[in-house]
Amino acid sequence: MTATPGLSTPQLASPGLLRSVFRRHAAGVAVITAPGESGPVGFTATSLASVSAEPPMLSFGVGTGASSWPALSRADHVGVHILGEHQRELAATFARSGADRFGAPTAWREGPEGVPVLDDVLAWLVCRVVARVPAGDHRIVLAEVVVGDPAGAGRPLLYHQGGFTALRD
């Protein structure tokens, strides 16, 4: 390894290095939901990615230690919600361990395929799960879009430097 002038000393691969690097990567904020045996489940995700246009598919990562994982590991369909900058508290609720994610003030309804659909988001999709790919302590979920609505108003919520933020003009 050769040093590059003006850069700090490189670090060997570690979970801390990966987290530090990705804190500098601004990402859109989504909430993933699914029906569960004891009620709906969900979590905040910044790993959402478009995978294919034909057929329309996306992916997201979920930790196998997450409270939502047992339901997601069995769910045939999931909800994907793109949050707006007005939804920082909603994002924080779905990111917080032990939170009552679907209690007040969270507004939601049962959508297609029994998937919980959040109200007032920028866009939402209901997707059919087609694969769960092992990836370290996570699973990458591949899902095919079934139905959705892209017509919500507002600007996207972002996650950067360990917090929720908005776009600047």
Query: How high does pLDDT run on average in the chain?
Result: 94
Helix (H) or strand (E) holding 71: helix 69-74
Query: pLDDT by residue (tens digit) across 127-148?
Result: 999 999 999 999 999 999 999 9
pLDDT at residue 9, rounded to an integer: 87
Instruction: Identify which has the larger pLDDT, 130 or 6.
Output: 130
CA 27/CA 104 separation, integer angstroms: 27
Residue 103, both tokens:
């209690």
pLDDT at residue 19, rounded to an integer: 87
Q: Three-state DSSP class for 138?
A: strand
